[in-house]
Amino acid sequence: MTEVLSSAIIDLNVSANNKDEVFSRLTTLLNRDGRLNDPDAYLQNVKDREALTTTGIGFGIAIPHGKTDAVNSVSVAIAKLQQPIDWDAMDGNPVDMVFQLVVPAASQGDAHLKLLAALSRQLIHADFRNEIKQATSTDEVIALIGNTINQTLEVSS
């Protein structure tokens, strides 16, 4: 089974001017790591979902997600932005951390909802947000968030 979170799909130094550039960067990482079977369809799915309502949850964080047949395995791609960008977030503040959930359409249960809930439970804590935002290596990010994500999916299997 592919790890949900790996250093190959985390970029802690993303230069982006808007959401679409962030989506494109994370889609590139996911595709290079073999997690997508149709990167164009996946990217369109994420953009279409974002058009429905913002995934900017506040606190400088966005959690966009795609659930489509274009995905090979459940994953979480992460981007730390060099400069905050407008994301139409619920609190009106710009976003500098993006956790993009990647879920196959045929996924058992509601893996994306379980991932979203697990991440949200952690991200509501200011200390946790600060630790993630101050992380300087992908290993640090994985150490901080990996157990939460993996335990969530083990419970749902």
List the chain pLDDT tens, one digit each, 157 residues.
458 889 999 999 999 999 999 999 999 999 999 999 999 999 999 999 999 999 999 999 999 988 899 999 888 999 999 999 999 999 999 999 999 988 888 765 676 677 778 888 888 889 999 999 999 999 999 988 876 665 555 544 4
Q: Tell me, yes or no, if 125 is annotated catalytic.
A: no
Would residue 152 count as lying in a domain?
yes
CATH at residue 59: 3.40.930.10
Contacts of 83 (CB under 8 A, 6+ apart): 15, 96
Would residue 23 count as lying in a domain?
yes
Contact 59, 50 (CB under 8 A): no
Would residue 1 count as lying in a domain?
no
Contact 26, 79 (CB under 8 A): yes
> pTM surpassing 0.75?
yes
If one counts the domains in the chain, the total is 1
Would residue 33 count as lying in a domain?
yes
Per-residue pLDDT at 122: 86
The residue from 65, 67, 80, 112 that is catalytic is: 65
Q: Alpha-carbon distance 93 to 5, whole Å? A: 27
Q: Alpha-carbon distance 5 to 79, whole Å? A: 12
